[in-house]
Amino acid sequence: MNETIFIVIPAFNEGKNIGSVLLDLLHAGYSNIVVVDDCSEDNTLKVVSGFPVFLLHHAINRGQGASLKTGIDFALKEGADIIITFDSDGQHLVTDLPAMLEPITRKEADMTVGSRFLKRTDVPFFRKILLKGSVGVLFLFYRIKMSDAHNGLRVLSRSAAEKISITCDRMAHASEIIEEMHKKGIRFREVPITVRYTNETLKKGHGSYLGAFKVLTAMALKKIGR
C-alpha cells in the first residue's frame, strides 16, 4: 500500500480513553495520526502530547463536526491520499481498518462507512432504536438507503474528502456527511465493523435521547431552509 493514510480523531474530555486508542493505532503501524482537541476540560491535551501524533487544539469548544473539519483540512494540506475518521472513546477497533481500507485502495469505492448492523454486534436495545430511527429519517429526507448512518468510523479517498463540505459543527455532521456523499455522487460501500459499548459511551452523542433529538431537529431545519 503506497497511499499516505491519515487518521483524524476528534477528542473532547477523553483523557481516560484516548491513550489506549493511540497506542492501538501506533502499534498497528499507523503513524499519521491527527488528534483535534475540542477545548477539553480534563487532561486530554496532556495525555495526547506524550504521543508522536499531530495535535491540534480548538480555543473554544466547537463540536465534533468542527473538529472533524479541522482535522480533515489539516490532513489534506499534509498530503493525505486516504483519510480515516476514528472515535477517541475506544468504541472502534483497529482490527476493522484493513477491511475498511480495502475498497478504497482497490478503487472500488471512494468512501467506506462502518456498519454495526452488518456484523453480529450486541447493540443495546434503545441505541438500536435511535440508530434505526436515524436511518429512517435519512431515507425520508434524502432517499438514502443505509443500514447504519451515524457511525464515526469512515474512510475517505482524497477526492471524496475534498468534495464533502462539513458545515454542521456538532453532532448533525454525521447526517450531513451522508447527505454530501449522496449529493456529490461519491461511490460508497458499507463495511461490517464491531462497536464496543460502555456505560460512558452510551451517554454520548447520538446515543442519548437529547442528542438524537438535536440531530433530528438540525436535519429538519436544514431541509426546510432550502
Beta strands in 47-187 (DSSP E): 54-57, 82-85, 111-115, 154-157
Tell which residue, 155, 108, 83, 104, has the closest CA to residue 1: 104
Tell me, what's the pLDDT at 161?
98
Range 57-80 average pLDDT: 97
Range 165-181 average pLDDT: 86
Residue 150 binned pLDDT confidence (cut-offs 50, 70, 90): confident
pLDDT at 54 over 60: yes
Domains of the chain, residue spans: 5-123+148-195
Q: Percent of the chain at pLDDT above 90?
A: 62
pLDDT at 45 over 60: yes
Question: What kind of fold does domain 5-123+148-195 have according to CATH?
Answer: Spore Coat Polysaccharide Biosynthesis Protein SpsA; Chain A (3.90.550)
Q: Higher model confidence: residue 147 or residue 15? A: 15
SS3 readout for 105-145:
HCCCCCEEEEECCCCCCCCCHHHHHHHHHHHHHHHHHHCCC
